Amino acid sequence: MRFPRPFVLAALLSLLTGAAPAAELKLRVLSTTDIHMNLVDYDFVRDEADETIGLNRTAALIAEARAENPNAILVDNGDLLQGAPMGDVAARVRPLKDGELHPAYAAMNLMGYDVAVAGNHEFNYGLELLERAQVGPNFPMLAGNVYRLKADGSAGETLFPASLLLTRSFTDDAGAAREVKIGVIGVLTPQIMNWDKDKLTGKLTTGDAVEAVEREIPLLKAQGADVIVVLAHAGINGQPRQGMDENFSYYLAKVQGVDAVVTGHSHRVFPGKDYEGLAGADLSRGTIDGKPYVMAGSFGSHLGVIDLTLEDASGKWAIKDGRAEARPVAEKGKARLPADAKITEALKDWTEATLAYIRAPIGEAKGPFNTYLALLGDTAALRLVADAQLGYAQKLVQGTPYEGLPLLSAVAPFRVGGRPGPDYYTDVKAGPVAIKDAADLYIYPNMLAIVKLTGAEVREYLEKAARLFNQIDPAKAGPQPLVGNMPAYNFDILFGLTYTIDVTRPARYGRGPAIEDPNAFRIGDILIGGEPLDETKDYLVITNNYRANGGGEFPRMDGTAVALVAPETNREILIEHIRARGEIVPDNTPVWRFAPVPDGPNGPPDIRIEIGPGGAALAAADQRLTRIETNAEGFDVYGVKLGP
Ligand code: MG
Ligand code: MN
């Protein structure tokens, strides 16, 4: 039997010196992911400081983690160049000149990154900007499953290198300098060809990410890689592998030779409670199938820390232990460490330019868009969002199996009083509209999602939303509050239909997704284009990832009805819609109406609704409303007549 030469040498050396067993070396892989141009701790959409995000905040955690263990490499896992308004500034408003340093790389060069992978959003501004920006970073970008398209239509070389060998001199536990060769493979969700088809068709093609990793491992091993780390711009999904998976990270643990996986794309935290019950996951160690995994949230909210203990008892480095954690920059809204002032300073000009950009008009409102009367049927503020979603979805479904199905656009009034208080309404006034107004119209950072439902399921969806209202008894004496304690962000309205809601009937649904009262129906007269909804036909409902994956516990909304998920947030889609229109005109045409509530023996029932004082003028002009009092929380209480 022949022993490998290093082993023989090491054995000989220990015989000669009587040395103890070989020393261990602690290697640390630090990672950021889905920074989305949140380079500083400022929410440019809301125009306010936010110390829970920002690469200048993550940088402080990186310095801390390096001080704990200097044997560290730093990687970025993609979705870097697009997202927060500073991305638009660098791409479109003050577009990067030839040779100019992109603000993301201005920050990252100061932080000493070793390597990055492209995320799907790197392609949003087209290939030209992406390639132009690559003059800046002093570290390479990888893209192992994105290929240039050859003239014959086949896949050519990768757009960026698929992998890279980092040779580093680190210090082992005995204090000796030791060489470690770290192979890094970068792959991303292959769906860029659907999401950015207008910019990439004819130029690029994508392949399966897991196969690309399998292809690169022997190449890196042949170059002497001691450790292999995969940068996977993809989420962790325990469903069976299908090939060309969007969220393929989970499968990498099963690939022989992969030692650690950096994940992202779904803006979650691993290890973390989102992944309780995931088969093979150990959330206390941060492993899947024994291999360390990390996902560092989004926007700089977390730092990914993978710790590997290497030992060389066999004559070459082997992994003795691996674990991972995601360290938050903030706890309960408060940052743990001060922001890195060097980075904040380096981005000062870009920050100024971005503030000017978000405060400048993107369009002109020809009248008010507000939600004061949204629970009584006003639609203007919601219709603007619904129209933006519809325009986007019409393009997204093109060329998919869903093309041609009727599209319904779901929007809920997110800001409509309730528990957050009487000032909590969407209120965009006539005049110039800025980006922060788009945040008022759509406050959540949801991604647009499209679900496929039958007509019967669409009716159930509306029944679930109509649970917002209390059951009104026309015969009952005394005040009856119209709105129950369900949050109104679950009161989805389906634009594209018209229908009635009969609040004299009991709710068909309770809190959960199951029918509670099978005989109860509140929704009536559902029409689409003047025709009754066909309960047997398929419809596409445009909503968001929150709703589609179970938020609000709507029937069928457990993720299995999802047809398409866009790579854009509903708010980004709204901003683009307003910008493209220039002028926006409020339209309060009803989508739904209350079915008439009959009088009881003593006349109309005393139905009550609370409206914030900002809606006083609108309420005064509404024939259905009679002002009664201002309550202790500061809401104006009105009597509302829903009679015939
Ligand atoms: Mg992504
Ligand atoms: Mn992302």
Taking only the tens place, the pLDDT of each residue in 467-482 is 999 999 999 999 999 9
Which pLDDT belongs to residue 440?
Answer: 92
In a domain, residue 265? The reply is yes
CA of 79 to the centre of ligand 1 (A): 5
CA of 119 to the centre of ligand 1 (A): 5
Angle separating helix axes 55-68 and 103-111, nearest 10 degrees? 20
Do 253 and 323 fall into the same domain? yes
CA of 322 to the centre of ligand 2 (A): 26
Of 68, 47, 270, 133, which Cα lies nearest the Cα of 278? 270
146: which residues sit within 8 A by CB, 6+ positions away?
A: 118, 158, 159, 160, 188, 190, 192, 204, 205, 206
CA of 536 to the centre of ligand 2 (A): 36
What DSSP character marks residue 580?
A: H
In a domain, residue 621? The reply is no
**Angle at CA of residue 628, ends 622 and 629, nearest 5°:** 120
Do 317 and 372 fall into the same domain? no
Q: Which ligand is nearest to the CA of 36?
A: 2
CA of 298 to the centre of ligand 1 (A): 10
CA of 123 to the centre of ligand 1 (A): 10
Do 316 and 439 fall into the same domain? no
Of 409, 391, 416, 424, which Cα lies nearest the Cα of 547? 409
Take residue 183 and report the two structure tokens written for it. Answer: 């192979």
Do 342 and 430 fall into the same domain? no
Q: Which ligand is nearest to the CA of 565?
A: 1
CA of 121 to the centre of ligand 1 (A): 6
Which pLDDT belongs to residue 18?
Answer: 47
Q: What is the pLDDT of residues 476-534, one digit of tens each?
A: 999 999 999 889 999 999 999 999 999 999 999 998 999 999 999 999 999 999 999 99
- Report the SS3 class of residue 453: strand
CA of 567 to the centre of ligand 2 (A): 8
H or E element in which residue 103 lies: helix 103-111
Q: Which ligand is nearest to the CA of 267?
A: 2
242: which residues sit within 8 A by CB, 6+ positions away?
A: none
CA of 265 to the centre of ligand 2 (A): 4
**Angle at CA of residue 416, ends 410 and 421, nearest 5°:** 150
- The CA distance from 560 to 492, in Å, is 19
CA of 120 to the centre of ligand 1 (A): 5
Dihedral over Cα of 253, 282, 63, 130: its sign: positive
Do 381 and 350 fall into the same domain? no
- Report the SS3 class of residue 378: coil
CA of 34 to the centre of ligand 2 (A): 5
CA of 498 to the centre of ligand 2 (A): 35
Q: Which ligand is nearest to the CA of 80?
A: 2
Beta carbons of 40 and 54 less than 8 angstroms apart: yes
| CATH code of residue 537 | 3.90.780.10
Beta carbons of 159 and 146 less than 8 angstroms apart: yes
CA of 108 to the centre of ligand 2 (A): 18
CA of 151 to the centre of ligand 1 (A): 29
Which pLDDT belongs to residue 1?
Answer: 39
In a domain, residue 644? The reply is no
Beta carbons of 303 and 31 less than 8 angstroms apart: yes
What residues make up the domain containing 187?
22-354
Beta carbons of 415 and 424 less than 8 angstroms apart: yes
Of 108, 174, 123, 119, which Cα lies nearest the Cα of 143? 119
CA of 234 to the centre of ligand 1 (A): 7
Per-residue 3-state assignment (H helix, E strand, C coil) for 514-570: CECCCCCCCEEEEEECCEECCCCCEEEEEEEHHHHCCCCCCCCCCCCCEEEEEEEEH
Do 333 and 381 fall into the same domain? no
| CATH code of residue 248 | 3.60.21.10
Take residue 362 and report the two structure tokens written for it. Answer: 């993107």
In a domain, residue 641? The reply is no
CA of 485 to the centre of ligand 1 (A): 35
Do 163 and 195 fall into the same domain? yes
Q: State the amino acid at position 382 in one-letter form.
A: L
In a domain, residue 293? The reply is yes
Q: Compute the half-sphere exposure of residue 631: CA atoms within 13 Å on the CB side of its CA.
A: 13
CA of 206 to the centre of ligand 1 (A): 15
Domain final residue pick, 324, 354, 384: 354
- The CA distance from 374 to 416, in Å, is 8
CA of 555 to the centre of ligand 2 (A): 28
Do 165 and 279 fall into the same domain? yes
Which pLDDT belongs to residue 3?
Answer: 47
Which pLDDT belongs to residue 177?
Answer: 97
- Report the SS3 class of residue 83: coil
Q: State the amino acid at position 506 in one-letter form.
A: P
CA of 231 to the centre of ligand 1 (A): 13
CA of 60 to the centre of ligand 2 (A): 22
CA of 247 to the centre of ligand 1 (A): 10
CA of 567 to the centre of ligand 1 (A): 7
Q: State the amino acid at position 71 in one-letter form.
A: N
With 0-12 CB in 10 A as exposed, 13-18 as middle and 19+ as buried, what is 55? buried
Q: Which ligand is nearest to the CA of 37?
A: 2
In a domain, residue 638? The reply is no
CA of 422 to the centre of ligand 1 (A): 37
Q: Which ligand is nearest to the CA of 195?
A: 1
Q: Which ligand is nearest to the CA of 118?
A: 1
- The CA distance from 487 to 491, in Å, is 8
CA of 246 to the centre of ligand 2 (A): 12
Q: Between the CA of residue 345 and those of 107, 139, 236, what are the distances in Å?
A: 10, 21, 36
Task: For the beta carbon of residue 532, count every other beta carbon within 10 angstroms.
Answer: 10
Do 317 and 378 fall into the same domain? no
Which pLDDT belongs to residue 12?
Answer: 52
346 φ, ψ to 5°? -65, -25
- The CA distance from 446 to 492, in Å, is 15
Q: Which ligand is nearest to the CA of 189?
A: 1
* Radius of gyration for the alpha carbons in the chain, expressed in angstroms and rounded: 28
Domain count, the chain: 2
In a domain, residue 542? The reply is yes
Take residue 132 and report the two structure tokens written for it. Answer: 């132009």
Do 422 and 370 fall into the same domain? yes
Take residue 457 and report the two structure tokens written for it. Answer: 């399921």
Q: Which ligand is nearest to the CA of 82?
A: 2
Q: Which ligand is nearest to the CA of 247?
A: 1
E strands, 118-175, where?
141-142, 146-149, 155-158, 163-171
Q: Between the CA of residue 356 and those of 85, 97, 549, what are the distances in Å?
A: 11, 20, 36
- The CA distance from 409 to 385, in Å, is 9
- Taking the chain (644 residues) in runs of 10, the rounded mean pLDDT of each run is 48 50 90 98 92 98 98 98 93 90 98 98 93 95 98 96 98 97 98 86 97 98 98 96 95 98 96 96 98 97 98 93 98 96 98 95 97 98 98 95 98 93 95 94 90 98 98 97 94 98 98 95 97 97 93 93 92 96 97 97 96 98 97 97 89
Beta carbons of 235 and 275 less than 8 angstroms apart: no
CA of 139 to the centre of ligand 1 (A): 20
CA of 33 to the centre of ligand 2 (A): 8
Do 519 and 585 fall into the same domain? yes
**DSSP string covering 302-356, please?**
EEEEEEEEEE-TTSS-EEEEEEEEEEESEETTEESS---HHHHHHTHHHHHHHHH
- The CA distance from 194 to 498, in Å, is 32
In a domain, residue 277? The reply is yes
CA of 62 to the centre of ligand 1 (A): 22
Q: Which ligand is nearest to the CA of 87?
A: 2
CA of 75 to the centre of ligand 2 (A): 16
- The CA distance from 642 to 42, in Å, is 45
Beta carbons of 609 and 629 less than 8 angstroms apart: no
CA of 121 to the centre of ligand 2 (A): 7
CA of 357 to the centre of ligand 2 (A): 22
Torsion of CA 574, 576, 579, 580, to 10 degrees: -110
What DSSP character marks residue 133?
A: H
CA of 45 to the centre of ligand 2 (A): 17
Do 288 and 421 fall into the same domain? no
Note the Cα 571 to chain centre separation in Å. Answer: 11
CA of 145 to the centre of ligand 1 (A): 15
pTM of the model: 0.80
